[in-house]
Chain A
Amino acid sequence: MRKTLDNLPSRSSPLSLSMRWSNFQRRYAPYIFVSPFFILFLVFGLYPSLFSLYMSFQSWTPSDGWGRWKYVGLDNYTFTLTDPMFWRSMWNTIWLGVVSGVPQHLIAIPLAFVIHMMLGRFKTFVTAVYFLPYITSSVAIALIFNTLFATHNGVINLVIAHLNTWPLLGALLPDQNINWFTSANVKYAIALVVIWQFTGWNVLLYLSALQAIPKDLYEAAAVDGASRVQQFRYITLPLLRPMMFFAVSLTIIGNMQLFEQPFVLLNGGASTATPGGQTVTMYMYRTAFEWLEMGTAASIAWILFIFIGILTYLNNLIFGRAARGVD
């Protein structure tokens, strides 16, 4: 319809100036409306990214002065890939990604299911409570947990000490106060904080997917005598797969970039004493802003980028096909 409207005046001979103007406007307005994003993206997104690719083949430190780069070929990459500290950080990141990522979903799915099935009016309220950590500053959260994790009389250690007196659970728990900030323990602390912060976000995602499942499917199953557990197993889980794909993708991308929580829990990443909590992004940050090796830092960023790409692709292989199948 629009085409005929647009073409109509051009066929009739003399165009009034105002019609010409409005035609001109309508043709070019959308380009002007969308242009701010693209200008900003080119200047502050694409250009820096390409520049960092260029930087990753250069050696440069701020004291050299702007423009004084030295081409070093693949040196930054070979340095990074042979640096034990990098692999240590990579291992920590993967470990944290799994240990803080998997429980988020294992907790969020049943929780969302319970909220969906059992709550009526209070659904929004309860979900909002679970969502609170997600909207809170990661720095604030890490600072709060810093006090909760204190070795002596920290709330978390006191709770563990109390649970220790329980008959069955007690056997599983350590008898002494845990020093959460040792190199070996700190990653458990970080994982706990991350699980606490992001489980609610996943609850919201899964809840929105659950609400999209038609009610009559459950009713039909109930008529056929399926129990709640069977309904969950044979209806809910398969129909949740597209959302699982989406939510797991977000978790992977987020967890591979963990920065603020370990940075603050480790008091600014004093990680020579606590290499157990150093993530790849922290290692990148230190390379750039402590050791001022900008080119090496750029190569770390690109290696991590490729790594995230591979993980996302693997996730796509595992969940993605099923997700598309259901779509």
Chain B
Amino acid sequence: MARKRVSFGGLLLRLGGYGLLGLGGLLTIAPFYFMFVFATHQRSEIFGFPPPLWFGEHFWSNYQILLEKIPFWRAYWNNLYLALMVTVTGLFFSSLAGFGFAMYEFRWREQLFAVVLATLLVPAILNLIPFYLLIYQIGWINTPKALWVPAMASAVGIFMMRQYILSAVPKELVDAARIDGCSEFQVYWRIVLPLIRPALGTLGLITFIGSWNRFADVNVIMRTQETKTLPVVLRTLQGATDVEWGAIMAGTALLVAPLLIVFALAARQLMEGLTSGALKN
């Protein structure tokens, strides 16, 4: 493979590299493209020959079917409500705990932090059944708080916040604020929070995306149509005998579109935040 004549071999490798990148990119984008295209076609067109490669004119009728068959906007609102609650409370409690771990010396600090990290190792889905039983026991089935209250402080969030606060907030600044008469909470609220905005942005995005996409736990906790989120109700459409694939694709497009928009706006920050968070320490 390796040629002595660098120019020719280098060129070949370079072309091969671009080819690989292009092909991979195409394969990555294609399903999204077909999702949007299929969202504008009827079922008969989607599975006709040839399948539609360009946008059609049935988006509105697909949308009408969605409204008929499922409480679409209600489910959309549930998605948004859940994601916002988890994000806002998660940012608050995770950054507060991250601040506690980063800026104080206290007894059991290392041990407590080790517990936070250890919870990351427990596979989430294994807790599904006991979690369901607990929610059942305390009577929170069909209530949204069953989904956002347990997620208010996350181990990932605390870890990220601690790392960032250690690198971005000088201890002298915190001490200076104390001398000026700030209470400990005021130090957090007035000094630390404004300084960690970039990390809050990254964590906020991760949290929002994660809870926007939640399925397994929502599926078992939310048993009535009014309380289900969009991925769960869209899934139920698939169970019908005559599946309206055009409508389902319209629904998934509307589910995915906000994420794509947010990601397009914040991709750089999100990915830089993720890579630095994953690597440090």
Interface residues of A (CB under 8 A from B): 2, 22, 25-27, 29-34, 36-38, 40-41, 43-45, 47-49, 51-52, 55, 62, 66, 107, 110-111, 114-115, 117-119, 124-133, 135-141, 143-148, 150, 152-155, 158, 196, 200, 204-205, 207-209, 211-212, 227-230, 246, 253, 256-257, 259-260, 264, 267-268, 281, 284-285, 288-289, 294, 297-298, 301-302, 304-305, 308
Contacts and interface: CB of A to CB of B under 8 A. Distances in A.
A133 B274 contact: no
B18 interface: yes
Q: Is the interface of B mostly helix, strand, loop or mixed?
A: helix
Among A43, A114, A259, max chain B CB count under 10 A is at: A114
Contact of A144 (B48, B103, B239, B249): B249
Contacts of B101: 30, 34
A189 to B, nearest CB: 13
B106 A31 contact: yes
Contacts of A308: 123
B220 to A, nearest CB: 6
Interface residues of B, number: 100
Contact of A118 (B14, B38, B267): B14
B173 interface: no
14 contacts: A38-B115, A126-B21, A128-B268, A131-B271, A132-B263, A137-B256, A143-B235, A144-B31, A147-B47, A147-B245, A150-B47, A196-B27, A257-B124, A298-B129
A16 to B, nearest CB: 13
Contacts of B9: 227
B275 to A, nearest CB: 3
B274 A135 contact: no
Interface of B: 1-3, 6, 9-10, 13-14, 17-18, 20-21, 24-25, 27-29, 31-32, 34-35, 38, 46-51, 93-94, 96-97, 99-101, 103-106, 109, 112, 115-116, 119, 122-134, 136-137, 149-150, 152-155, 158, 178, 183-185, 188, 209, 212-213, 215-216, 220, 231-232, 234-235, 238-239, 245, 248-249, 252, 255-256, 259-260, 263, 267-268, 271, 274-276, 278-279
A151 B10 CA distance: 43
A228 B10 contact: yes
Contact of B185 (A29, A140, A155, A208): A29
A294 B133 contact: yes
Nearest to B263: A135
Contacts of B122: 45, 49, 305
Nearest to B10: A228
B31 A130 contact: no
Among A132, A158, A207, A285, max chain B CB count under 10 A is at: A132
A34 B213 contact: no
Given A44-B134, A51-B133, A34 B252 contact: no
B201 to A, nearest CB: 15
B213 A138 contact: yes
A241 B28 CA distance: 26
